[in-house]
Structure formats: structure tokens, C-alpha cells
Amino acid sequence: MTCQTPDFNRTDPPLDVIVSKDTKLSFIMDGVVNSGLNEHQLRLIYFPDPTFHAFKEGARVVYIEEPVLKIDGKDLRIDYPIDIRVSEHHIHCNLTESKTFDAIYCKIEQNDKIWQVDGNEHRVLIRVGKINFSPGNMTFANKPAILSLGSILLIISLPILLIIAIVALIYY
């Protein structure tokens, strides 16, 4: 059976994917005289193809302590299957709930092949239906500490030096 639909991108006025509207839509189907369903039982939900944005500024950094990868785009919904894999090892990325259609978040499964802070970049591959896209590469890193080792040593050594200076001034 062949079922042809009109081009949704050329409707006048253009369809708004956020707002739900009642729209009459008819199909021309080969050899089908009657579907047996009344028009109140039929509902067509249209999801436009998602578009993904490439990672900005080189590789996306993902912290090992919180291995969540953010992927930006447009018309991103988790109502349909999205397959996200990391690196040539095809490590699976589990989607988490998103409150916006402009970004999706996925938690990367732990895998010893790529789960290292070694500076290596891993390619991210996204597949939605027949759409394949690679937004870029990602790399693992340790979460930056609030204080660096140098600042911790400075905070410890300054009071000690101050106490030594005060004691030296008192006894001389």
C-alpha cells in the first residue's frame, strides 16, 4: 500500500509544532475504499525531524564524577527512539528526562575501554530513525576542585609564617 502525505513544511500558515491544532488531512491510498474508522478515532501526531548542533569549541568535556553528556539541537523529544553512542566501541548513552526541546541529556554507561582521563577524544554518534549525525567529539576529565593544590598550600603556609613572624618580633 502506498500512502502519500503533503509536505508539512509548505503548509500555509506553517504548522506550529508546539501548539496542538485540529487539522484536516486526507490520504490517497491504493485500493482502500473505507478504513472502517470514524474521523474522531483517528489522530495524527506530527513530530518534525530533530536537528542537532555541533559541539562548540572543540571536544565536549564530560566529568567522570557526573558522566552526563548534553546535546543541543531543535525539536528534540524523547517520545521517539534516539540512539546515542560514544566512540568506536559503541558505548551506549542512556537518555534522561529533559524539560526542553532544545537539549537532551544522556548518562554514559561505565566502560573500562573509554572510562579514563587520558585526553583521548571519543566520537559521539546520534541516530534518530534514518537520520545519523555526529555533533563532534567528547573527552573525559576529573571535576575541577574548588581549591587547587597550590592555593591549599598557600592558605596553610601563610598563617604559619605569620605566627613565626609575630613570635620573632615579640622575643627580639
Could you tell me the domains of the chain? 51-141 (2.60.40.10)
Query: What confidence tens digit (pLDDT) does each residue in 36-85 have?
Result: 666 666 666 667 778 888 988 777 888 877 888 888 888 887 777 777 87
pTM: 0.57
CA separation for the pair 112, 109 (Å, rounded): 10
Q: Which residues of the chain have pLDDT under 70?
A: 1-30, 32-46, 88-89, 111, 113-115, 117
Distances (CA, A) of 143 to 62, 85, 147: 9, 22, 12
CA separation for the pair 54, 152 (Å, rounded): 38
β-strand partners of 71: 104
